[in-house]
Chain A
């Protein structure tokens, strides 16, 4: 079987889930992406991506505790799984391997 492949946005969302730990839910991811990367993302897109990642077994989800905010609705908290972490890591390594091949080009540009 070919290796699982992640799209750019999927990777971003997965990374954010890793970063936010216990506080990873839809809105938090949207605000964090905006704060850290200055990028406006769509809440529905984030949700759809989260569910897809869950289907692939890269994250898992559970309902958080009840609050008074949010009209009394609980949060769906996502946490990254081991498979998710190892996929992120292997993607990063693969990219680094590629990156190492770039310097010759860099010289030319410089």
Chain B
């Protein structure tokens, strides 16, 4: 005999793993015996091969399935029977099956969509390099007056990095510019930023082509994103190519810039995409007199800009803030001394900024998704419990032939899990179909399924498994608790017991649905109030063109006035105004104004708008007294100023009085007072404002064109044609005031749409649930109906009898939900300065609608049974 080395040990281990222990010895013995024989006959190598093959052959159902079930050989058949019974039951009760699956599917699809959205919002900024050490420098006014929090002194961060090298690692600042970028005959206005060269090393944005470490080689270097490269060159590898940028210094000159790097399209972040600007072109932050006239690191220029700073590992935020405060005290010029600086962590900045508006939206959406899931689960529980009568016999038979309770629980749980997994699969499909619609609704693009990643889909799958268990667990334990004798007699032990729970659950359902319904109505009302409220100016038919060439000089203003006349010659254009601002919340300058002669402490901080004399006419703003900056009789004088009514009152001035800016000697003459109007969003009250003429400030951005009512498309086309004549090198970028306003209320409009969809879904789920419950109840009470009719009940009596409990449920639900909604909506509305009132009918109308719809639904379902001949129904069973 050859040297015995034995068969492969691993294979024996494998055999022992899958083989039932009681059979293992015999099988192993046979295998070893054959192996020994083979060793003698064909040699050890071949014997080992054959042994391997035989072990694999033993890995077959006939062996494996004998594992722990060996005492119960019919297990496989039993499981098959479970499936058969389940399918039979589902097909027999088609309505209820559809309600089960549809409710779960809709709920899961909504959750899936909301989940994708929430995940995308949570991921903003998370991909930035070392995001835990990145901070935004935020500023507030020491006296509490208004200041853009993201604007901080430009010079402070550089000084901080130089003087406190142990605390700060590096910094990044930028100024945003809209620049007309041309190549050959392509002209577009592109959002650009003039920024520090630390953009790539500090935030780690991915670079597609080019050298990111030396991206700003000279003053004429630019970086662009992939989207811009594709737009101008139709390819991405464009390092070394040139683009022509139009200067803003007023000389109307154009400069060629060389592309040094192409960036991958940037993920959403609070650096290049702060306040939704989404910058595409990056220029060097150096004084060049083309786009930047002041040295950014000079304190004296007093410039402010968004600033970001990176702390050293381990440096504390408190120390860093103290360092910044010390720097400000020592170095900042007087006009910046009134600012308090603080550091806001960038990883949560996006969620927390603007009073945590994004966070609130995320919470609201998640709550709605949760509510919808709860409704779907309640439908499932109610219908399963209510229809259990039909399965009592099955339960009885299973128990009699030896089914243990755990087996029954497992059977019912599996059923609900299988259903919810099925619903999950359908809901993923539903997501794929409705993705673009909901993306538009939420004002973002929702990623396609393939980009969601395994983890997310896995998590959603686990959630749907848990939903299945949550929905199935109560029915499973309830149904399996009946004793065999009771079940076989087809009699429920306590018919009222399940009834109370199901009533409570339905009250919860109605409460949630009605609550969301009322809230949606309130949100809708508030949003339409935003859009329809009299803003004290006329926004209708106002076309704003933001791509006005920035020739910011005296000749520039004059050439714009010539251009204005050319547009005015169009019959469709009623009036035109050249200005920096349009009344959509964005203001360029703020000043502290006071009466000449009055104390510095009596000055008032207010926005200073730069417009021409046609602004009031174009926007239909009423003059209270005087003229708007100039008129035919009174030509414009430098120093002419207009203030709003509230400003005139606060400053105590009338037409002809003199005003001055705090800390300055220049004086202005009030030529007129206009009525107050809503320049800012309705989150805020009207505030005092002042106007100066663009001729004096020599800066402007927009043409506002009041069009004649009528064919607007035609009018826009005419204006565009004229534009190409007047400014052949400038793109035509326009929007309507309505659209600009809609942008102001972006979050509210999102919430409005989401809550409307949610209301529809929730009502649908609740009504299908009611429909299912009523159907089941009627099928159980056919005989009773017959008796009642014989005893003289009318059809109406019967319908009323069936619907009464539901009407009581709705009223109860309403009584609980209404105060909660009233509280929540008052809190929500408190963030707006101008808000709708909450009249009583806002609460009553939704509940009345729900009552009527439920009544109709129940009548439709009941009436056939109620109309049927009692002879037939009495014979039933």
A: which residues have CB within 8 A of B?
25-27, 30, 42-45, 47-48, 51-52, 55, 61, 63, 69-71, 73-76
Beyond A44-B54, A69-B33, A70-B33, is A26–B60 a contact (Cβ under 8 Å)?
no
Task: Give every chain A residue within 8 A of B6 (Cβ-Cβ).
Answer: 71
- Assess whether A43 is in contact with B26, with CB atoms less than 8 Å apart: no
A63 to B562, CA, bound (A): 111
A76 to B73, CA, bound (A): 20
Beyond A69-B36, A76-B25, A76-B26, is A43–B31 a contact (Cβ under 8 Å)?
yes
Task: Give every chain B residue within 8 A of A76 (Cβ-Cβ).
Answer: 23, 25-26, 29
A80 to B33, CA, bound (A): 23
Beyond A44-B54, A44-B58, is A51–B25 a contact (Cβ under 8 Å)?
no
- Assess whether A47 is in contact with B58, with CB atoms less than 8 Å apart: yes
With A44-B58, A51-B63 already in contact, 4 other A-B pairs whose C-beta atoms are closer than 8 Å: A61-B26, A70-B30, A73-B25, A73-B32
- Assess whether A44 is in contact with B60, with CB atoms less than 8 Å apart: yes
Chain A binding surface, main DSSP class: helix
Q: Per a CB cutoff under 8 Å, which of B28, B29, B33, B66 touches A51?
A: B66
Beyond A43-B54, A44-B54, A55-B73, is A75–B29 a contact (Cβ under 8 Å)?
yes
The answer, yes or no, to whether B816 is at the interface (CB within 8 Å) is no
Task: Give every chain A residue within 8 A of B32 (Cβ-Cβ).
Answer: 70-71, 73
Q: Per a CB cutoff under 8 Å, which of B26, B58, B62 touches A52?
A: B62
The answer, yes or no, to whether B27 is at the interface (CB within 8 Å) is yes
The answer, yes or no, to whether B739 is at the interface (CB within 8 Å) is no
Q: How far is the CB of A70 from chain B (nearest CB, A)?
A: 4
- Assess whether B28 is in contact with A73, with CB atoms less than 8 Å apart: yes
Q: How far is the CB of B44 from chain A (nearest CB, A)?
A: 15
- Assess whether B62 is in contact with A26, with CB atoms less than 8 Å apart: no
Can you pick out 17 interface pairs between chain A and chain B where the beta carbons lie within 8 Å of each other?
A26-B27, A27-B34, A43-B30, A43-B31, A43-B57, A44-B57, A44-B63, A55-B73, A63-B25, A70-B30, A71-B29, A73-B28, A73-B29, A75-B26, A75-B29, A76-B23, A76-B26
- Assess whether B26 is in contact with A48, with CB atoms less than 8 Å apart: no
Task: Give every chain A residue within 8 A of B60 (Cβ-Cβ).
Answer: 44, 48
Task: Give every chain A residue within 8 A of B31 (Cβ-Cβ).
Answer: 43
- Assess whether B34 is in contact with A43, with CB atoms less than 8 Å apart: yes
Q: How far is the CB of B239 from chain A (nearest CB, A)?
A: 66
A69 to B26, CA, bound (A): 13
Q: How far is the CB of A46 from chain B (nearest CB, A)?
A: 9
A76 to B30, CA, bound (A): 9
Beyond A43-B57, A52-B62, is A74–B34 a contact (Cβ under 8 Å)?
no
- Assess whether B54 is in contact with A51, with CB atoms less than 8 Å apart: no
Task: Give every chain A residue within 8 A of B66 (Cβ-Cβ).
Answer: 51
10 tightest CB-CB pairs across the interface, nearest first?
A76-B26, A73-B29, A48-B62, A26-B30, A44-B57, A70-B29, A71-B32, A44-B58, A27-B30, A70-B33
Interface string of B63-100 (1 = CB under 8 A from A): 10010000001000000000000000000000000000
Task: Give every chain B residue within 8 A of A74 (Cβ-Cβ).
Answer: 25-26, 29
A1 to B60, CA, bound (A): 30
Task: Give every chain B residue within 8 A of A75 (Cβ-Cβ).
Answer: 26, 29-30
A70 to B12, CA, bound (A): 13
Interface string of B30-47 (1 = CB under 8 A from A): 111110100000000000
Interface string of B8-28 (1 = CB under 8 A from A): 000000000000000101111
Closest residue of chain B to A56 (Cβ to Cβ) is B73
Beyond A42-B57, A52-B62, A76-B23, is A47–B29 a contact (Cβ under 8 Å)?
no
Q: How far is the CB of A53 from chain B (nearest CB, A)?
A: 12
Task: Give every chain A residue within 8 A of B27 (Cβ-Cβ).
Answer: 26, 47
Task: Give every chain B residue within 8 A of A44 (Cβ-Cβ).
Answer: 54, 57-58, 60, 62-63
- Assess whether A51 is in contact with B23, with CB atoms less than 8 Å apart: yes
A57 to B114, CA, bound (A): 59
Interface string of B422-462 (1 = CB under 8 A from A): 00000000000000000000000000000000000000000
Task: Give every chain B residue within 8 A of A25 (Cβ-Cβ).
Answer: 26, 30
Task: Give every chain A residue within 8 A of B36 (Cβ-Cβ).
Answer: 69-70
Task: Give every chain B residue within 8 A of A55 (Cβ-Cβ).
Answer: 73
A25 to B33, CA, bound (A): 12
Closest residue of chain A to B61 (Cβ to Cβ) is A48
A89 to B33, CA, bound (A): 33
Q: How far is the CB of A95 from chain B (nearest CB, A)?
A: 27
Q: How far is the CB of A67 from chain B (nearest CB, A)?
A: 9
Closest residue of chain A to B59 (Cβ to Cβ) is A44
A71 to B36, CA, bound (A): 9
A70 to B36, CA, bound (A): 8
Closest residue of chain B to A48 (Cβ to Cβ) is B62
- Assess whether B62 is in contact with A71, with CB atoms less than 8 Å apart: no
Q: How far is the CB of A23 from chain B (nearest CB, A)?
A: 13
Closest residue of chain B to A47 (Cβ to Cβ) is B27
**Most B C-beta atoms less than 10 A away, residue of A26, A45, A71, A75:** A71
Closest residue of chain A to B26 (Cβ to Cβ) is A76
Task: Give every chain A residue within 8 A of B73 (Cβ-Cβ).
Answer: 55
Closest residue of chain A to B57 (Cβ to Cβ) is A44
- Assess whether B25 is in contact with A47, with CB atoms less than 8 Å apart: no
Interface string of B383-404 (1 = CB under 8 A from A): 0000000000000000000000
**Most B C-beta atoms less than 10 A away, residue of A25, A30, A47, A61:** A47
Task: Give every chain A residue within 8 A of B34 (Cβ-Cβ).
Answer: 27, 30, 43
Task: Give every chain A residue within 8 A of B33 (Cβ-Cβ).
Answer: 27, 69-70
**Most A C-beta atoms less than 10 A away, residue of B25, B26, B32:** B26
Closest residue of chain A to B54 (Cβ to Cβ) is A43
Task: Give every chain B residue within 8 A of A71 (Cβ-Cβ).
Answer: 6, 28-29, 32
Which residues in chain B, 845-870, are within 8 Å of chain A measured between CB atoms? none
Closest residue of chain B to A70 (Cβ to Cβ) is B29
A74 to B62, CA, bound (A): 22
**Most B C-beta atoms less than 10 A away, residue of A25, A27, A42:** A27
A109 to B30, CA, bound (A): 46
Task: Give every chain A residue within 8 A of B26 (Cβ-Cβ).
Answer: 25-26, 47, 61, 63, 73-76
A59 to B32, CA, bound (A): 24
- Assess whether B28 is in contact with A47, with CB atoms less than 8 Å apart: no
A74 to B32, CA, bound (A): 11
Q: Per a CB cutoff under 8 Å, which of A42, A47, A63, A69 touches B63?
A: A47
Q: How far is the CB of B499 from chain A (nearest CB, A)?
A: 44
Q: How far is the CB of A22 from chain B (nearest CB, A)?
A: 15
Q: How far is the CB of A65 from chain B (nearest CB, A)?
A: 12
Task: Give every chain A residue within 8 A of B25 (Cβ-Cβ).
Answer: 63, 73-74, 76
A73 to B27, CA, bound (A): 9
Task: Give every chain B residue within 8 A of A27 (Cβ-Cβ).
Answer: 30, 33-34
Q: How far is the CB of A30 from chain B (nearest CB, A)?
A: 8
Task: Give every chain B residue within 8 A of A73 (Cβ-Cβ).
Answer: 25-26, 28-29, 32
Q: How far is the CB of B63 from chain A (nearest CB, A)?
A: 6
Task: Give every chain B residue within 8 A of A48 (Cβ-Cβ).
Answer: 60, 62-63
**Most A C-beta atoms less than 10 A away, residue of B29, B32, B54, B63:** B29
**Most B C-beta atoms less than 10 A away, residue of A27, A43, A44, A45:** A44
Task: Give every chain A residue within 8 A of B30 (Cβ-Cβ).
Answer: 25-27, 43, 47, 70, 75
A52 to B58, CA, bound (A): 15
- Assess whether B57 is in contact with A51, with CB atoms less than 8 Å apart: no
